Amino acid sequence: MRLAKIRAALFLAVSPIVGTWAAEETPSVPTYTNDDLRRVSPRRGETGVLSKPAVPPGAGNATPAARRPRGEDYWRAEAERLHDRLRSLRQRSDDLRLLIEQRERQQRRQQATARRSPTAAPDSTEVLRRRLLSLEAEIRDRESRFEERARREGALPGWLR
């Protein structure tokens, strides 16, 4: 109880000081009235508002590829190139799936016919599964990077199929 009273007394003693610090730190912001605006409006041309820029906005820093939008033919050809490049990766992933399936069948047959401990031979299918997951992640990554680039450059989603 005593500690609460001390805290309250300190708070009440310090709060006026903090309030004056906050008031001193805030800079005064000038306010303009309609009379002020009417007074300076005849000299509006002197502020530079009527001047024309030497280079149109955005023309100086844009690259030639960004200035000219690419059409449907370009994006369809790019999508076809991507599919061609990914074809070998997809073939490898299909081969891995088949190999995993064959090894699992072979392990089930061996377990059914022989009474060996399943821990006697290492599980080689786990290594193949990790390789398959890595390959599928690579395919998804390449596709998503292409789709993101196409989206940024304004390609319609139907052009990418």
Sequence spans of domains, the chain: 72-160
List b or e across 3-33, with b for residues whose CB sees 16 or more CB atoms inside 10 angstroms.
eeeeeeeeeeeeeeeeeeeeeeeeeeeeeee
> Nearest 5°: CA angle at 23, between 20 and 25?
110
CA distance 143 to 103: 30
pLDDT of residue 16: 60
pLDDT of residue 156: 86
Q: Which segments of the chain have a pLDDT < 70?
A: 1, 8-26, 57-68, 115-122
pLDDT of residue 120: 46
pLDDT of residue 20: 56
